[in-house]
Amino acid sequence: MTIISEVMTRGVRTLQPHDQVKLAAKLMDELDVGSLPVCDAGKLVGIVTDRDLVVRGLARHSSVDQLEVQELMSSEVAYCLEKQTVEEALEYMGGDQLRRLPVLNEEKQLVGIVTLGDIASKEEQPETDETLAEISSDLPK
């Protein structure tokens, strides 16, 4: 059985709650990612997505110049533990329609992120196709 720590991406760039939204957008562009974990003293406290920047930021605020990440981030974040199995993570991802999960260690410190792409490229998992189908099944066309 493969565990998450064997397939996850380490060294994930994070933001802090008081970082400006502009920094989040710039990093997402530079890193070509759609979300960034938000940590405070190494602990995961939220996640901010490109959709958050648009819907919660631009659509609701007349100016985003001084807006902080904590004002837009989701503070209830799904995650998995580095010692969990890939199968457990895939089940969780499919049930909640998630394409990526932050990965925490036993002390609840962020140690990486795992995506469906990580799993698909590093593992031969028939469940990956099923999970992707579950995630995509209810998406608007």
Single pTM value for the model: 0.80
Comparison of pLDDT for 18 and 94, the residue scoring more? 18
Q: How far apart are CA 104 and CA 22, in angstroms?
A: 26
Q: Which residue has the tokens 């939204």?
A: 21
The tens digit of pLDDT for each residue in 2-47 reads 899 999 999 999 999 999 999 999 999 999 999 999 999 989 999 9
Comparison of pLDDT for 118 and 12, the residue scoring more? 12
Nearest to 73 by CA among 32, 14, 113: 14
93: tokens are 């991802």
